[in-house]
Amino acid sequence: MYLRPQSSFDTSILKQVQILSLYLVWILFSGPMFHLSAQNRAPQKPPELIRDTDAAEGKADTGTTTKKEHDPVLAEQNINIGNFYFKKRNYDAAIQRYLDAIEYEPDSVRAYEALTRAYEKKGDNEKAISAYKKFIEHNPDSPKSTEFRTRLAKLEKK
């Protein structure tokens, strides 16, 4: 069946329909040529691990540490991520995040509280005691210092 255009407007529409139909036919019949076979594909990399995984498993190279700039926002983010790990009972990863938070904000009460709590949950009382002492030494005028001293005294009695 042949369509005869009635006007120039009909002619332009007819041309557009013909071009569109040719394009659709080309897509349908040339599709397989553009697909790569499984042999020709580049090998996929395995997904990268979370940054804390190596540290939590004791595989991280902790000998090279750099001094981090004071940044309360990054400290807060590290505390929140550490709290996530703490809830999942991954105490090693939580401790690493709390230590990162302390590097960003050395006088953070929340980071020290969370760090000592994680050490205690892990059963590493000596590191908890040293964290309490470090906080008290660096922040003797803090309102939390008295609370930290009482917790320290309880741990030292054990």
**Maximum separation of any 2 CA atoms in the chain, in Å:** 101
pLDDT at 15: 84
CA–CA gap between residue 93 and residue 16 (Å, rounded): 62
The top-level CATH class assigned to 70-157 is: mainly alpha
Say if residues 107 and 139 touch (Cβ distance below 8 Å): yes
pLDDT profile of the chain (158 residues), mean per 10:
60 82 75 54 62 61 65 93 95 95 92 94 92 89 88 86
pLDDT at 42: 61
pLDDT at 80: 96
pLDDT at 46: 66
Say if residues 112 and 138 touch (Cβ distance below 8 Å): no
CA–CA gap between residue 144 and residue 28 (Å, rounded): 72
